[in-house]
Chains A and B, each alone.
Chain A
Amino acid sequence: MTITDTKTKGQVAPLNKAKGESQWLLIWRNFRQHKLAILGSVILLVLFAMAIFAPVLAPYDPDEMDIKYSRGAPQPPTIEHPFGTDEFGRDYMSRTIYGAQISLSVGFVSVGISLVLGILAGVLAGYFGGHIDSTLMRIVDVLLSLPSLLVIMMVNSYLEPSIFNTMLAIGLFSWMGVARLVRGQFLSIREEEFVLAARCIGVGPVRMILRHLLPSSMAVLTVAATIGIASAILTESGLSFLGFGIQPPTSSWGSMLQSAQTFMRTSWWISFFPGLCIALAVLSFNFVGDGLRDSLDPKLRHR
């Protein structure tokens, strides 16, 4: 959950850059060679498609119950219900497809929140330094030393469990790593020549931050973001499993796993499909993140 990335200390000086080529194109070229990352991207595309086109793909309404069919027990996969049904007779495939919407959006939004907060804090700390820096870092330390799961659950209790509040809670407690990253970037770049030059010309702080300092952190932030999404999806599934996250009848993959315990022995499909999806999503984000990290670091270019 916290990203203690001690390796890439902001050394993103692009190498082998042909004239006119953007930094991103270079990164893309490196990325392409990373097989696992490509695999991850493909899987992610499929999952996204699942989430976006859920209304078209899902054969049934995920909340539609058919108690006469299920009689209180989950039914095994059949032609009409390829993934089986849950104990209320709701089609499991539809629920899994719609679950993508919830799980993925929780991942994205919470990382989005943590990015916003983290960049803000990191910029302030890194750019202005001094007292602001140490105060912010103290706050970061304080927040980092709170047992995160406990605090997220506390916050959730206060806000009452809902999708957005879960996103908020997770985001509120994962911005610290991003802040540290950005701050680290700024601290190391601050003394670089191009920064000093810009300052000589008289570039104002806002412009400095936005056009010079921040872009060089983009690459590292992207890596942090992808890994953060993976982590957020796992956190959400854990929370929902414990009963503190997404509440029924809305279903995320994590909350679908809640009933997995009861039906483990008799209905394998209840735990299999959501678990598989979580694993695939998290795996793919990790692959992509890893691939990005490798393609950014010029020293680790392979072959």
Chain B
Amino acid sequence: MKKFLSLTFVFLIGVTLVAGCATPTPEVQVVKETVKETVIVEGTPQVVEKEITKVVVVTSTPEPATDPRYGGTFIAGVTFGDPDTLNPIDCDSYTCGQVLGTIFSYLVRLGPGGQLQPDLAETWEFSGDGKELTFYIRENANWSDGQPVTAEDVIFTLEELQDPDAPYTRIHDLSIAGEPIQFEAVDAKTVKFIMADSYGPILSLMSDMWIMPKHLVNADDPLAGPFNQQPIGSGPFKFVEWKQGESLTVEANEGYYDSRPYLDKIVFRMIPSKEAAVPALQSGEIDAVEVRSSQLPQLQGDRNLVVIPDPDYDHAVQFRINTKSPILSNHLVRQALNIATDREEYIWGVWGGYAEPSNTMFSKAAFCWEASEPTLPEYDVEAAKALLEEAGWKDEDGDGIREAHGVEGLDDGTPFSFELITYSAARYGPLLPIAQAQWKKVGLDLKIRVLEPAAAGEIIDAYEHDMYAGGWGSFGREPQMYRGMWGKGNTYQYHNPKVNELWDAGAREVDEAKRKAIYDEMENIYAEELPIIPIAFDYTFLATRHRVVLDEAGLYTFGTVWTYYSEKLYVTQE
């Protein structure tokens, strides 16, 4: 899964110890630094400088970084289960993403600040009208079996992904204005993309697609064949072995084009839950793992660990509403519920303070995001009540729960009640009782239910839900990546032609300022109609042992450090 980072600014609410609270809060440091960011102005990339503040949560004093050294094994804790596949076109989940990120390469990849850096492609250029994009592949890019990476490999991979009948899970929209993108191999190391119209997101999309070796993949059925058990890639590491349920090992690829990675080996250790991972981290059986904010107090005071907020903070949590559900079909009701939401309570109750309130559809990482004035009032119970009265929900019998009086499509007297569900007990379950308590104050009798993903998925896919709590994230800078959430079969049953027009316009436009205007307009519509009620941007944290360092200290960028820059990881001792 791709993680974008826009280190524009981060701030934490209520960071210091709360008086009277006996449970220790981890110490936090705020650091300012300057980074370079690539912005596209009128079709050409430009580099600008930005100052950002970064937050580091410290559980002990970090040692000064030593010089990078070669050798050693890094053991990564993986808590999302075994990778479900080792084939890059079928990988859409977190776990296989972590592993395959060390084995395979992209054409371009994300760097700090969300800028795109060369990976397989050394340089690239757009044609004047933006309809052609040419990539120049490195001369020294080779597969770990010695064969060179060629344009044929790129074309093979991308055309495979364009196949509409394919059951692959890692699909992106490789078409624009209704036409699939054409690919041409200009020479062995040069690929040209020919598009029907200019396509703003195309570079970002290429930073999310691994390239496969054509000569090793079965063209008829890429999901069959030895490549799926023994993947061969062009990345800094090579696949060694996979002990199901236990560990997966990769070792340094001596022929990697930049230079051999510092580490000898990376071992991904499968651990069933984050809770079980913490003792393993403390005992040194793993070197790093992602932890939840609720686990921070446990790590407090451990002198061997450093905890950093995972800058993948563009994960957003929201309530997704089925806009065709009878009670929630009126946008006034949705607005009322939004105004009756006290986000502070969620931030403390669910994430222990490690989250920021959100009232926009796009996340902070998207380049079009800005701290805009909300179009609706902040938390205001009375205003919410007024809106509900206006929508025809009044409490005439004095039992504290409103009933319908003159609501279209519902009989008079129908109680103001619906069900809020979620598919992830651990992650979003805690939001439900809070919603229940908060919305009771405006006369809603909210029923809540926590379901397993399978059961929840069935209800949601059949549009039988009223509202569910969920989240999305790591879309990065490119707003077009959110398009998938608003497609034909979206779970909010929200189909607004004006919004769809805006999506298409945003894809065709290349100048970022103009694009931003388009997405801003979209944001206003979403804020008015509220098919989702955004709650917060939550943080997760990376807990690592001191011995793990990333070269170019401070390059703890998006998501799991080892996915994108694994060649820069090193350990300070064996």
Contact = CB atoms under 8 A, between A and B. Distances in A.
B425 A262 contact: no
B293 A72 contact: yes
B437 interface: yes
A87 B431 CA distance: 12
Contacts of A265: 297-298
Given A88-B430, A261-B273, A262-B294, A248 B351 contact: no
Nearest to A249: B433
A63 interface: yes
A247 interface: yes
Interface stretch (B15-23, B151-159, B249-257, B546-554): B15-23
A73 interface: yes
Given A63-B433, A160-B451, A261-B275, A71 B18 contact: yes
Interface residues on A, range: 20 to 34
B353 interface: yes
B425 A247 contact: yes
Nearest to B438: A65
A71 B21 CA distance: 8
Nearest to B449: A247
- For the residues of B in contact with A, the DSSP-based class is helix
A264 B350 CA distance: 18
B298 A72 contact: no
A155 B493 CA distance: 31
Contact of A72 (B273, B350, B437, B448): B350
A198 interface: no
Interface in A80-124: 87-89
A266 B297 contact: yes
A76 interface: yes
Contact of B23 (A68, A73, A243): A73
A75 interface: yes
A72 B21 CA distance: 11
Contacts, number: 87
Interface in A213-252: 243, 247-249
A8 interface: no
B425 A73 contact: no
B561 interface: no
A12 B450 CA distance: 49
A88 B21 CA distance: 14
A74 interface: yes
A65 B448 CA distance: 15
Contacts of A75: 21-23
Contact of A65 (B275, B349, B450, B454): B349
Nearest to B448: A249
Interface residues of B, number: 35
B294 A72 contact: yes
Interface in B35-88: none
Given A75-B23, A76-B22, A88-B349, A248 B450 contact: yes
A267 interface: yes
Contacts of A161: 450-452
B421 to A, nearest CB: 10
Contacts of B351: 72
A67 interface: yes
B367 to A, nearest CB: 32
Nearest to A89: B349
A157 interface: yes
A48 interface: no
A71 B455 CA distance: 32
B9 interface: no
Contacts of B433: 63, 65, 88, 248-249
Interface of B: 18, 21-23, 273, 275-276, 292-295, 297-298, 300, 345, 348-353, 425, 429-430, 432-434, 437, 448-452, 454-455
18 contacts: A65-B349, A65-B433, A71-B23, A72-B349, A73-B297, A73-B352, A76-B22, A87-B352, A87-B430, A88-B430, A89-B349, A161-B452, A247-B449, A248-B429, A248-B432, A261-B273, A262-B292, A262-B294
Given A63-B433, A261-B276, 7 more contacts: A72-B349, A76-B22, A88-B434, A247-B425, A248-B429, A249-B433, A262-B295
